[in-house]
Structure 1
Amino acid sequence: MKEIGGYLELELEDRGDFLHSDGICLNSGRNALEYILISCSGISKIWIPYFTCEVILEPIRKLNIPYSFYPINERLEIEELLQLGESEYLLYTNYYGIKDQYISYLSKLYGQKLIVDNAQALYAVRMENIKTFYSPRKFVGIPDGGIAYTNNMVEIPNYAQDVSYGRCMHLLKRLEMEAIEGYNDFRINSGKLIGQPISVMSLLSRKILSSIDFLAIRKKRIQNFEKLHEALMNRNLLDMSDFGFFECPMIYPYYVDDKTLRKKLIDNRIYVATYWPNVLKWCSEDKLEYELTNNIIALPIDQRYGSEEMDYIIKLLV
């Protein structure tokens, strides 16, 4: 018999299944990748893009898997398609959640040798038999969590369930205070995820995910993206020919040759993340990836905002 009575917990509406709840729900995106890599027996090498987050290397190094980098082009696509060896795999990042169509092409080309990093593409549909992982905390306010899909969807029974209450301070502060007040807590929480063993997603993270209206979030994000794109597409140096062929973006990637713009936005209380500063160490200044890291401005389009906030951003940019 479970306990009865006592003080009340945080109230969260239960909407049932959440986005990708049929996947292997683990405690972080990097551990979802680790789970996928474990399921791939006998990997001789994995190819990863220069233009990606350094946490990708954590599970690869942990499992002692040899890796090599590959460059991308201005369409955020593989510069020169790779010929994979028998036991080699290719990891491709769904940049900003706008490369769904290209991933469909890669899946036909590489099949089960493709691993899709959908950390920035929570709404992207997982293609059958394609190894894929997601990181929901990039899109919604949860302390941790990752979701994996492999060819053989069998959950390893020995994983303990994670506990997340100690990683929520930044989320609670963000409700009652400005972002800057909780930013250090956010960084501390991110640091807590480093080196964590694979665990089953915590009950808290599952409950939060089960309480979210994902359809409403998708609608708001797409509306905000479209509003920015209409105003900025003629100034945006990024090839956006994939516009309309993706499920839901994470941010609006605004590529401009203006080194002062990021500071201008932050000074006006528009907080834009840099994806990914580690690339500046991995690449020389003459590489495209170096340029993309410095000059793509990640404009926020998330579900907290609407036309008023998008108009404020546009006014500062045009």
Structure 2
Amino acid sequence: MAIGGYNQLPLISLDTQLGTEAYKFQSARAALYAYLSATKIKTLYVPNYICDSIFPALKSLTVEVKFYSVNEQLLPVNCPELTEKSDSRILLVNYFGLLNEQIKMLTAVKPELFIVDNSQALFCEHIEGTTSIYSPRKFLGIPDGGLLRTEIKINMPEARYDASENVGHLLLRAAGDVQAGYARFLDAEQMLECFIPKKISVISAHLIKCADLNTIKEKRRRNYKILYNKFRTLNQLQLPINDHVPLCYPLKLELNVTSICRELIDNAIYLPRYWSSQHSGSVGKGMFENTLFLPVDERISTTELLQLVKLIRTKL
């Protein structure tokens, strides 16, 4: 304990616990690298709709990548059947945190053969027997972080990630200077491209303790339900929320959304695009080209959400 000296940010610890049984790394891709390195996996089956950020780590480990297709409901079309002694694994992506029940069914028979990518599903419970990976910084205001749940023993690295120079975007965003913060955000993301595992930073570990997870979950569910009801007749992708805590509300339309995204930026509305990749199949390309990934996080009020709905409808 330190007493006196310079001041600190007025952050109140709620003693929030997240991933108490998980190995804690600086990023989800570092967590994946650590698992594959420890298990000497030779082949990884990957859906043909996924973020390219995992591939440098796979290449570094000389893991062979084999793609399988997903259907319009973002579920495997031709998921391979592996034996229990296989040196291969199947990566399942819990898209937008909305496929919890489907993934439980897919992994029920041989859970040890599956890696569940819960990067977009922070609050999805770990399925016993599987390996699961989480990316809490997609849901929380933290500069780094990746969680790994597995029954395999992982030797943690000695080095800890230093996030002291990568929190500027969080502070600028909190102060309302979104544009200045965006450049810092890109710099922070670039720093995380290094997949060599390190322990989660002390900054992120502390910020997690200050997060009100119950409020975050409640508001994300509420906001998703509002958008689900408002766009039910327009959305080409019907993924009900059930009891899930979603990353966003994917609004899939019958048109290319690039121009709409540009117009929304003019109104200070910034939407991500998931994902532009040479590995994407027809479903993945359609998701990138035709889908608005609308925010549902706890910072958005009901009034702001309804304004967003009105704005989008005027542009359709």
Question: If the TM-score is normalised by the length of the shorter chain, which range does it land in?
Answer: over 0.9
TM-superposed CA distance for 1:204, in Å, is 0.7
Match of 1:59 in 2: 57
Please list, as runs of the form range in 1=range in 2, the aligned pairs for 1:217-228 lying within 5 A after superposition: 217-228=216-227
> In 1, are the aligned partners of 2:57 and 2:195 still within 8 Å (CA)?
no
TM-superposed CA distance for 1:65, in Å, is 0.8
Distance in structure 2 (CA, Å) of the matches to 1:214 and 1:227: 20
Match of 1:248 in 2: 245
Match of 1:163 in 2: 162
Distance in structure 2 (CA, Å) of the matches to 1:248 and 1:174: 23
TM-superposed CA distance for 1:22, in Å, is 2.5
Please list, as runs of the form range in 1=range in 2, the aligned pairs for 1:118-137 lying within 5 A after superposition: 118-137=118-137
3-state SS of 2:165 partner:
helix
3-state SS of 2:151 partner:
coil
Distance in structure 2 (CA, Å) of the matches to 1:157 and 1:226: 40
TM-superposed CA distance for 1:157, in Å, is 4.6
Match of 1:282 in 2: 279
Q: Which runs of 5+ in 1 are unaligned?
A: none
Distance in structure 1 (CA, Å) of the matches to 2:110 and 2:237: 26
Q: Letter of the 2:202 partner, please give it.
A: L
Distance in structure 1 (CA, Å) of the matches to 2:292 and 2:60: 32
Q: 1:82 aligns with which of 80, 89, 110?
A: 80
Distance in structure 1 (CA, Å) of the matches to 2:168 and 2:241: 37
Match of 2:71 in 1: 73
Match of 2:205 in 1: 206
Q: Which runs of 5+ in 2 are unaligned?
A: none
Distance in structure 2 (CA, Å) of the matches to 1:316 and 1:3: 51
Q: Letter of the 1:82 partner, please give it.
A: P
> In 2, are the aligned partners of 1:18 and 1:212 still within 8 Å (CA)?
no
> In 2, are the aligned partners of 1:30 and 1:58 still within 8 Å (CA)?
no
Distance in structure 1 (CA, Å) of the matches to 2:18 and 2:244: 13
Please list, as runs of the form range in 1=range in 2, the aligned pairs for 1:1-318 lying within 5 A after superposition: 4-41=3-40, 43-84=41-82, 86-152=86-152, 154-240=153-239, 243-259=240-256, 260-277=259-276, 279=277, 281-283=278-280, 287-318=282-313
> In 2, are the aligned partners of 1:101 and 1:245 still within 8 Å (CA)?
no
3-state SS of 2:185 partner:
helix
Q: Deviations over 1:21-68 (max 9, x none)?
A: 331111111111112212323x23101112111111132112111111
TM-superposed CA distance for 1:239, in Å, is 2.9
> In 1, are the aligned partners of 2:16 and 2:210 still within 8 Å (CA)?
no
TM-superposed CA distance for 1:252, in Å, is 0.2
Tell me which moved more, 166-175 or 257-266. Answer: 257-266
3-state SS of 2:90 partner:
strand
TM-superposed CA distance for 1:256, in Å, is 0.3
TM-superposed CA distance for 1:291, in Å, is 1.3
Distance in structure 2 (CA, Å) of the matches to 1:317 and 1:225: 16
TM-superposed CA distance for 1:163, in Å, is 1.8
| Superposition RMSD in Å | 1.7
Distance in structure 1 (CA, Å) of the matches to 2:299 and 2:34: 32
Change (3 A) 1:181 1:72: same
* Aligned-pair identity (%): 28
> In 1, are the aligned partners of 2:134 and 2:148 still within 8 Å (CA)?
yes
TM-superposed CA distance for 1:246, in Å, is 4.5
Distance in structure 1 (CA, Å) of the matches to 2:56 and 2:97: 22
Distance in structure 2 (CA, Å) of the matches to 1:18 and 1:39: 26
Q: Deviations over 1:128-172 (max 9, x none)?
A: 1210010011011100111101113x4525422222111111111
Change (3 A) 1:238 1:158: closer
| Number of residue pairs the alignment of both structures matches | 309
- Structure 1 segments, 4+ long, off by >4 Å, are none
Distance in structure 2 (CA, Å) of the matches to 1:272 and 1:187: 15
Distance in structure 2 (CA, Å) of the matches to 1:225 and 1:283: 26
> In 1, are the aligned partners of 2:33 and 2:196 still within 8 Å (CA)?
no
Change (3 A) 1:146 1:226: same
Change (3 A) 1:15 1:271: same
Change (3 A) 1:70 1:36: same
